[in-house]
Amino acid sequence: MRFFVTIQHPAHVHFFRNTIAELADDGHDVHVFAREKEMAVELLQRYDIAHEVLAGTASGLSQLARVQATYEARLLRRAVQLKPDVITAIGGVAAAHVAKVVGARSVVFYDTEHAKLIQNLAFPFADSVYTPDCYKRSIGPKQVRYPGYHELAYLHPERFTPDPTVVSDLGLDPDDTFVVLRLIEWGASHDVGQGGFGDVRDVVEQLEDAGAEVLITSERSLPSELESRRATVEPHRMHDLLSYADLFVGEGATMAAESAVLGTPAIYVNTLTMGYTDELDERYGLLFNYQGEDRHALALDKAVSILEGDEDWENRRERLLTDKVDTTDVILRAVTGRPRQASGQARKSGAEV
């Protein structure tokens, strides 16, 4: 079979990279198409994934619309030339549209309920939409729910073993207490009007006063006095760092969820929540949501209490892994149409894989 995989965000690289490798190993023809977005292309290069870049970066919603149109037009041209059997993506606006035009099957994965624009543009055209079973929206008969998270496509213990050298390479001692602080740019369409922390200087000060080294990963510029805390870690090693951190504190849901499934407690500070952030909080106690006007103060109180406490986070992670599946297996079954295992039989209309 011939597969198109479309990539528009660094997290999409991680989500699909094991699937791409297994499809290629099985003799399928896989073509990967990307848009310049943060470190997406850098990650594709790092993992030695052959790809074509179809469009560049975008600054602001009006420019994003033009870039998206360019991406979709170029993807259509390549689909007419190569005639794929399946086009798959996260979100899947371009994938669903192009697949419908060329007669391919479109398989879309999504986990972000509040991104209404993407859903309205993609879901009506998609052949199937795969969502975690904690996803709060009902999409209809094309929806397939599965017991997992996007992050378990690449951070399930069957897929990922952390490298401890990342700690020493950053000049830290294995016994040091350190926190990864993530700040986002607030430039996505669904981020308009939303917010996270107040004064980032206060965040760093309180975490350091609690005895932690603070390593910042940020999409936006930092106050000059905080630049020395910016983590100079290669993008493909960020998950190693999260695995060994004592705590994650940040505004980005993806990195918060990554930390949680790795067994690192996560403080998520953002006025937006998703089904998976709520479940990781309420069911597993590995992620703590803070959305209200007092989110800054409450989040830091919780962060300090975690740093000063002694919880068994690994036990919570084991309970999560008992309940959830290796999401790469879900992706492979979805795109190839392989018969599913009896314990993972897919049913439509909101039933689970």
Q: pLDDT tens digits for the chain (353 residues)?
A: 999 999 988 999 999 999 999 999 999 999 999 998 778 999 999 999 999 999 877 666 677 788 889 999 999 999 999 999 999 999 999 999 999 999 999 999 999 998 888 999 999 999 999 999 999 999 999 999 999 999 999 999 999 999 999 999 999 988 899 999 998 874 454 444 455 687 889 999 999 999 999 999 987 788 889 988 888 889 899 999 999 999 999 998 999 999 999 999 999 999 888 999 999 999 999 999 999 889 999 999 999 999 999 899 999 999 999 999 999 999 999 999 875 443 333 434 444 56
Distance, in Å, from the CA atom of 328 to the CA atom of 109, rounded to the nearest integer, reads 12
Look at the pTM and tell me if it is higher than 0.85: yes
Contact 153, 327 (CB under 8 A): yes
Residues of the chain with CATH 3.40.50.2000: 2-157+326-344, 165-323
Q: How would you classify residue 344: left for phi > 0, otherwise alpha for psi between -120 and 50, otherwise beta? A: alpha
Contact 168, 174 (CB under 8 A): yes
CATH class of 2-157+326-344: alpha beta
Interhelix angle 61-82/93-102, rounded to 10 degrees, is: 30
Range 165-323 classified under CATH 3.40.50.2000: yes
